[in-house]
Amino acid sequence: MVPWMTAAVVVALLCLAGCQSSQGPSKRPTAKRQNLAAEANPPDSFDAGAGKPPTAATMYSLARILAAQGNTNRRIGVLRNLIQSYPDCAPAYNALAEAYLSIDRADEAISALTAGVTRHPKDPILLNNLGMAYFLDGDYQSALANFDRASDVQPDEPTYRSNKAAALGMLGRVSESAELYRKDLRQSEVHENIDVLLRARRASAQQQQQAKQPTTAPSRVQ
């Protein structure tokens, strides 16, 4: 999901951990934005034979089918309805965030995960995913805060340590980043990961600098 990542970087940074638990690897966000005006309610065929409203499991299964079909508009609509009907369904927040990230809508992914964390403040997967969404949006300080919270809840999970190390590296806190990586990686892998993060940090700084420059030359005063 992060364009500059290489195979040397811990695999945890290439996917949303919430979807690791229930969804499989998430897709890399694309620049293409889709029109979400077509977001619809789930079809009336849900549990129609029993004359009952759709269950959380039924709606979640449909969302996964829609994801496999690439129907992001409907997938988002189903997941939003699922959360509205069953607000305690933690995997739905992860799936909704992944859907938003797949169309490069990080702000809405962050909002979805924030709502999930509000509902489940001690869920390490939701916390890690919120950190990941901030990481992808370039807000490394907020990413670090949420990776830290996930690590506090589940300190033995290397995924959260690795993500925290990456956020520290992007913030320029290299020694702290390396120290965390050493808990799970060989020294050569630590050096390689730190090198990737430093190059990414420089590239990010250059992009920010270029964004501040005027796109056209200033007009001369006559």
pLDDT tier, 176 (very low <50, low <70, confident <90, very high otherwise): very high
**Least reliable range by pLDDT among 148-152, 156-160, 183-187, 211-215:** 211-215
**93 closest CA partner among 39, 133, 143:** 133
157 found inside a domain: yes
User: Does the pLDDT value for residue 33 go beyond 80?
Assistant: no
DSSP state letters, 57-87? HHHHHHHHHHHHHT-HHHHHHHHHHHHHH-T
Cα–Cα distance, 131 to 149 (Å, whole number): 9
215 found inside a domain: no
178 found inside a domain: yes
205 found inside a domain: no
152 found inside a domain: yes
Q: What is the structure's pLDDT at 213?
A: 75
219 found inside a domain: no
Structure tokens at 70: 């690439």
CATH number for the domain spanning 76: value is 1.25.40.10
**The domain containing residue 125 runs over which residues?**
11-24+44-198
208 found inside a domain: no
206 found inside a domain: no
Domain count, the chain: 1
pTM to 2 decimals?
A: 0.74
